[in-house]
């Protein structure tokens, strides 16, 4: 297929494809799906070989968020029956992080619900970062705390944070239909603050919220322009009790095409398969490893993932290998730029009125909503049960 040959050539040169080419990837047929995966896989292997980076989420503060992000189970007014707790103590967060590191994770992502941190919150998180690095000197730490105020990014960097995550989530044109309590521009500003402070920027998207192909291409092109080191791709988990509970718009094939498009647009960036992979990719998850070079190990913020051992078995069975602590994630030209800026080098997950005004596409013909695969997290951080790592 001429399209795929062109996209591979551009990906190997780190050249941006055209919007029309990116849209064409999303429009390919299921008959061409394996060809699409194989083509994007060539680009993935060029820059990342067969390595898979493992990341581990620690939810420092769960629920009770004042923001109205329609996709989020922690949002204002959410009726989702998730765990709710205030800030974990640094020693408890460090213990949770250690479980992920023991399972093979080289990056720990510290996430807290809320619009953004207060200065006191920055103090809390700084102590947590110090506690984690005291136990695991080589582990990368990424913070995901919401919108940053002036000076906060610099304080996090000084405390040892290697990266900061703040996702754009969807296109600028449709953002107001998903969230009204802050703006798309607010999110862009926070990512840029993190970059200016010398942290490795992580910013991605959520697919499956009723967006169009044009919306998906718009947000991925915006991410390319923002130039984060890592791009997490989340697939909406339609939690009961949230405005998007009825949005079941994805098939495994659609999810793979989205991942391939992201890889073609962001060829040399850490593309992370994030929340919702078990729900929407299901038995097709191993194919996604040919497109992404990074995944989360175990559970997410408020939902449970597949068992950590199953993640490791999947990686091995698919012929890939877990990236070691001493290996550099990014290709040399990006890693050198990151090192010059004085930051880590790698990414994190997603973080909350009425139903969104985004025009939701019709449910995929013949696909039943797999509500049985949406499992609320009941173990790990904030509970007395051991974590899934």
Give the catalytic positions in this structure.
65, 69, 72, 109, 142, 202, 272
CB 251 within 8 A of CB 26: no
| Distances from the Cα of 108 to the Cα of 92, 153, 236, 258, 296, angstroms | 14, 18, 22, 26, 10
Cα separation, 171 vs 177, whole angstroms: 10
Cα separation, 321 vs 100, whole angstroms: 17
Phi, psi of 206 (to 5 degrees): -120, 125
Instruction: Name every residue whose Cβ is closer than 8 Å to that of residue 13 and which is 6 or more positions away in sequence.
Output: none
How many CB atoms neighbour CB 383 within 10 A? 12
Query: Which residues make beta-bridge pairs with 206?
Result: 234
CB 366 within 8 A of CB 372: no
Report the SS3 class of residue 196.
Answer: helix
Of residues 18, 25, 24, 57, the one with CA closest to residue 40: 25
Element (DSSP H or E) covering residue 154: helix 152-159
Cα separation, 38 vs 11, whole angstroms: 13
CB 314 within 8 A of CB 277: no
Helices (H), 18-102: 19-26, 33-48, 90-102
CB 262 within 8 A of CB 288: no
Query: Which residues make beta-bridge pairs with 324?
Result: none
Distance between start and end Cα atoms, the chain: 41
Q: In terms of residues, how long is the chain?
A: 389
Cα separation, 221 vs 152, whole angstroms: 28
Angle at 293 between CA 8 and CA 148, to 5 degrees: 110
């Amino acid at each position: 297929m001429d399209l795929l040959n062109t996209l591979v050539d551009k990906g190997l040169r780190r050249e941006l494809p055209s919007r029309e080419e990116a849209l064409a990837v999303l429009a390919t047929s299921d008959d061409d799906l394996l060809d699409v995966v194989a083509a994007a896989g060539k680009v993935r292997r060029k820059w990342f070989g067969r390595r898979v980076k493992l990341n581990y989420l620690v939810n420092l503060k769960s629920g009770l968020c004042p923001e109205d992000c329609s996709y989020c189970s922690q949002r204002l007014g959410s009726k989702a029956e998730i765990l709710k707790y205030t800030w974990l103590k640094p020693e408890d967060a460090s213990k949770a992080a250690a479980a992920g590191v023991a399972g093979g994770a080289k990056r720990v992502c510290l996430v807290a619900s809320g619009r953004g941190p207060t200065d006191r919150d920055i103090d809390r998180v700084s102590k947590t970062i110090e506690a984690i690095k005291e136990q695991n000197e080589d582990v990368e730490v990424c913070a995901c705390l919401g919108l940053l105020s002036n000076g906060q990014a610099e304080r996090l960097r000084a405390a040892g944070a290697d990266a900061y995550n703040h996702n754009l989530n969807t296109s600028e044109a449709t953002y107001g239909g998903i969230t009204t309590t802050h703006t798309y521009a607010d999110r862009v500003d926070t990512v840029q603050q993190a970059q200016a402070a010398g942290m490795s920027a992580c910013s991605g998207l959520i697919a499956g919220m009723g967006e169009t192909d044009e919306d998906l291409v718009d947000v991925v092109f915006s991410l390319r322009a923002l130039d984060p080191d890592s791009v997490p791709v989340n697939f909406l988990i339609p939690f009961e009790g949230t405005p998007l509970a009825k949005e079941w718009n994805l098939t495994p094939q659609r999810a793979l095409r989205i991942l391939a498009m992201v890889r073609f647009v962001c060829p040399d960036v850490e593309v992370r398969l994030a929340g919702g992979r078990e729900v929407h990719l299901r038995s097709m998850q191993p194919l996604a490893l040919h497109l992404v070079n990074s995944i989360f190990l175990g559970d997410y913020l408020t939902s449970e993932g597949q068992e950590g051992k199953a993640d490791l078995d999947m990686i091995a069975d698919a012929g890939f290998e877990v990236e070691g602590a001493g290996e550099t994630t990014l290709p040399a030209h990006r890693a050198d730029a990151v090192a010059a800026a004085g930051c880590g080098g790698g990414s994190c997950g997603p973080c909350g009125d009425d139903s969104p005004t985004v025009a939701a596409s019709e449910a995929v013909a013949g696909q039943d909503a797999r509500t049985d695969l949406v499992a609320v997290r009941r173990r790990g951080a904030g509970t007395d049960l051991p974590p899934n790592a």
